[in-house]
Structure 1
């Protein structure tokens, strides 16, 4: 068994639109270590959620390879994928719209167990549902409640319990706290960390919030317009961001201490349309350092230093605080 539970190679997902081909995910490659968390961060529309769904084959990829436990799951038939889904689950962004409003809490959590015919006995099933509710911090009295009767935090706990019902190895967390209040966000993040430790889970944690991803992730990959432009261990990325886009993102994180305020990097212009993209640096129209090479050739994601990957023609110039 390999150290990496997941390896993604040149993953692409395109959509046909009346205006042309939309490059939602365009040649993404990364790996996730067993029992670790990879944070996938970027602006809205950068393709991070599409990446998560394509990995689970909730959206069929256009091309590429996805190795889960060493096997390319893009070659799997429907029957094989159905069996594999016990190992790969997702926690959705909006805990309200992802829950069936006609089903009680108990029935929502029990549904994947019933569909996969894991438990036949009604009493054993109810005990398992109560166990899952206890694990995620839901009171037993809520078993017959409905989603609309609960607050956002409790709804998200239902989503987490449902994801855990099949005892998966790998979970895609698709912005699981972005719809919650800050105090509730902390509770859910701490819960996810505890579950990871106790159940040896592996996470792909998708978010636009760098403060959250720094706290939660072992490694961070930064996406821009369907491509990964920088990837490194969390501590390394925050201590030495190299790509100008990563620097701009980190500079925007609020710092409570006036003496330690970062110099804000203000990006100019709007994000480029992802339809029929030219072969250039996707960030070049907004980059303060763009030169002719950036506008003519897309940089490859290369290992600038051990474990630190950057897609920038001028990585040497931008590293270690150089401008």
Structure 2
């Protein structure tokens, strides 16, 4: 399968008074065309920063982002906006904060079409915006409504319509259902999957909800403090979890049955600081299997099973 996006040794550091914060540190990842890769991990692990760096909302510190074979990470901003901005879009986490409260639904969806100068007249842009409303399930009667007048599900549909209005190939979905009720979450997830089939879209789906990511993803990548620590097909990570941190994440998934007891992996110890981290395993302080090597050397991502990559010094003992 052809790769649409190839990320090579991508880094994004932020300067702080105490040093360099390693938000995304040496991430290498491929995303196949027409597929969905889920990015999971706890808050602060660098998931959203990775997505925003791919979008060029943040300029990377170093590394490459190949989109259809061309490096967009080091591309001049003007050239990127002209050639690739329309092709790479984002659905933001908060469907209220990401919308201008002074603009109506129709105006919000028209805006990206006008800003990116798609060669459409004002009337044609309006027709296109109405088509997007219909595509994502927004009733025509809501054209003049404002974000504060709508519920979370409808607001998120506006965000999806805005992203789709430029006919992209790749969409970064940054926790697009975390702020929604469970019933609305299912509607939005089904909508995203239907649109993917219809338009052959490629998704990066960022979330901390393992049940959601299992439902929508083809592959899953687990991040911890800026590092990619495990990547494999979605079904494989639930059948054969290798990295101890991934094991802890899966053990935290609640079971909807009060009569079933589940053994949970309780992590102890303090989080390692992401500011100028030492060259060792960043999970070592919380890992129950820590060895001397873990405190002396940072593990590299390596393939332990076909298409199953893990960054852990003691990973072999968990391979089934």
Q: C-alpha separation between the residues in 1 aligned to 2:257 and 2:131?
A: 43
- Corresponding residue of 2:200: 200
Residues matched between the structures, number: 319
Quote the offset at 1:117 in angstroms: 1.8
**What is the TM-score with the length of structure 2 in the denominator?**
0.97
SS in structure 2 opposite 1:74?
coil
Instruction: Give, in whole Å, the separation in 2 of the partners of 1:30 and 1:262.
Output: 33
Q: Distance in 2 between matches of 1:210 and 1:197?
A: 22
Q: Equivalents in 1 of 2:148, 2:277: separation in Å?
A: 42
Q: Secondary structure at the match of 2:230?
A: strand
Q: CA RMSD in A?
A: 1.2
- Is the partner of 2:254 in helix, strand or coil? coil
**1:120-161 CA distances to partner (integer Å, 9 max, x unpaired)?**
433322221111001001000111111011011100000000
The residue aligned with 2:129 is 129
Q: Aligned equivalents of 2:261 and 2:119: distance in 1? A: 55
Say whether residues 1:178 and 2:178 are aligned partners.
yes
2:38 is aligned with 1:39:
yes
Aligned to 1:54: 53
Would you say 1:79 and 2:78 are equivalent positions? yes
SS at match of 1:148: helix
Equivalent runs, 1:80-119 vs 2, <5 Å: 80-83=79-82, 84-119=84-119
Conservation of the 8 A alpha-carbon contact between 1:119 and 1:125: no
1:183-262 → structure 2 map (5 Å cutoff): 183-257=183-257, 261-262=261-262
SS, match of residue 98 in structure 2: coil
Alpha-carbon distance in structure 2 between the residues aligned to 1:144 and 1:258: 46
Q: After alignment, is 249-258 or 128-137 more displaced? A: 249-258
Question: What per-residue deviation string (whole Å, max 9, x for no partner) do you get for residues 85-131 of structure 1?
Answer: 11000000000000001111101100111112224433322221111
How many angstroms apart in 2 are the aligned matches of 1:14 and 1:120?
39
Distance 2:309 2:124 in 1: 49
Q: How does 1:283-302 map onto structure 2 within 5 Å?
A: 283-302=283-302
What SS does the aligned partner of 2:190 have? helix
Gaps of 5+ in 2: none
Question: Partner of 2:26 in structure 1?
Answer: 27
Cα distance in 2, alignment partners of residues 108 and 258 from structure 1: 45
Distance 2:18 2:178 in 1: 31
**Which deviations, in whole Å up to 9, do the C-alpha atoms of 1:173-203 show, x marking residues without a partner?**
0010111111111111110000101110000
Q: Counterparts of 1:270 and 1:165 in 2: how far apart (Å)?
A: 45
Residues 194-222 of structure 1 deviation map (CA, whole Å, 9 limit, x = unaligned): 01011100000000111100111000000
